Amino acid sequence: MLDAVERKIEQFIAELEDKDTLNLYKKLPAGKRLRARLILAIAGDSLSVIKTAAIVEMIHGASLLHDDVIDDANTRRGVASINAIYGNKTAIMLGDILYSKAFYELSNIDPKLSRIISRAVTLLSIGERQDVVLSESFNSNEELYKQMIYNKTAVLIEASAEAAAYLAGKELKPYRVYGKNLGIAFQMVDDILDITQDSTTLGKPALADYKEGKTTLPYIYLYHSLPKDEQKVLRGMHKKELKEKESRWIAQKMQEYKVIQKAQLEAKELVKEAIEIMQNLGEVELESIATKMIERSF
């Protein structure tokens, strides 16, 4: 079924009748397609469901193209990113093409569906801005971090689940809550993997967040666990290229205060709640998507 989504995206791009866009699009690896998987698992495989899944993945793809420009990234999904190969201008414009075609197609399906998705994309953009602003200085506020990841990542996953429930004529709320929990946990796991995994497994550089100024949940927990003098040491390493010795210090302190386990537990609690909701509804595939998401290593 996921294949049908890939073909729909290719068809949407082909309809633009621009060879250059098609060639550029072919350079984009597909990724995990979490949002499309969710939509299909909730709503089946009718044409409007396949289209919605394709639209959401195109919007997500556009947001990553722009994100890589904003983060000055060199790799995405294990290969060189579009901005790294063709420059920022190309990455931004390819994002614009994917994003606007997706909205054109969205407007042809259903007005309520359009509202669910477009509201999410506005919040997604606000979330990206919040991420950039928070990264300018050392953020030790857990609530600000959580609000930012909710907007930046969870909102589109939440909207995908809600949109799919709407298309399937199912009750919206349980799917919305499932999507929200899964989305927040997804970003928490992403932020944990940045610390625990190597770059080959991740398909992007490891330990990149702190260097970029992002104090993710394990860093926030660590900060609040450390004595004052060591808090200062940690702050001193913020937004810098770390020396081997400094990375080791952070790793050792994270181990000492068990902050990775603490962050993992928080993500697991959210997923557990999401799974329970789906168990009550007999949605076996959605339970399995949530389990796989929390157990992933990249």
Under the criterion CB under 5 A, does residue 131 sit at the interface with Mg ion? no
Smallest separation (angstroms) from Mg ion to the CB of 259: 22
Residue of the chain from 95, 174, 179, 218 that contacts ligand FPP (CB under 6 A): 95
In this structure, the number of other CB atoms found within 10 A of the CB of residue 90 comes to 16
Under the criterion CB under 6 A, does residue 62 sit at the interface with ligand FPP? yes
Under the criterion CB under 5 A, does residue 67 sit at the interface with Mg ion? yes
Under the criterion CB under 5 A, does residue 191 sit at the interface with Mg ion? no
Smallest separation (angstroms) from Mg ion to the CB of 184: 17
Which listed option, Mg ion, ligand FPP, none, makes contact with residue 59 (CB within 5 to 8 Å by class)? ligand FPP
Residue of the chain from 8, 51, 66, 180 that contacts ligand FPP (CB under 6 A): 66
Under the criterion CB under 6 A, does residue 220 sit at the interface with ligand FPP? no
3-state secondary structure the chain: CHHHHHHHHHHHHHCCCCHHHHHHHHCCCCCCCHHHHHHHHHHCCCHHHHHHHHHHHHHHHHHHHHHHHHCCCCEECCEECHHHHHCHHHHHHHHHHHHHHHHHHHHCCCHHHHHHHHHHHHHHHHHHHHHHHHHHCCCCCHHHHHHHHHHHHHHHHHHHHHHHHHHHCCCHHHHHHHHHHHHHHHHHHHHHHHHHCCHHHHCCCCCHHHHCCCCCHHHHHHHHHCCHHHHHHHHHHCCCCCCHHHHHHHHHHHHHCCHHHHHHHHHHHHHHHHHHHHHHHCCHHHHHHHHHHHHCCC
Residue with tokens 């394990």: 218
Looking at 64-72, 74-82, 147-155, 275-283, which segment touches Mg ion (CB under 5 A)? 64-72
Smaller CB separation from ligand FPP, 94 or 278: 94
Smallest separation (angstroms) from ligand FPP to the CB of 85: 16
Under the criterion CB under 6 A, does residue 250 sit at the interface with ligand FPP? no
Residue of the chain from 34, 43, 63, 130 that contacts ligand FPP (CB under 6 A): 63
Looking at 40-48, 67-75, 83-91, 109-117, which segment touches ligand FPP (CB under 6 A)? 67-75
The residue with its CB nearest to Mg ion is 71
Smallest separation (angstroms) from ligand FPP to the CB of 238: 16
DSSP state of 75: E
Residues at the site binding Mg ion, with contacts judged by CB under 5 A: 67, 71
Residues at the site binding ligand FPP, with contacts judged by CB under 6 A: 59, 62-63, 66-67, 70-71, 73, 95, 99, 121, 124-125, 128, 152-153, 204
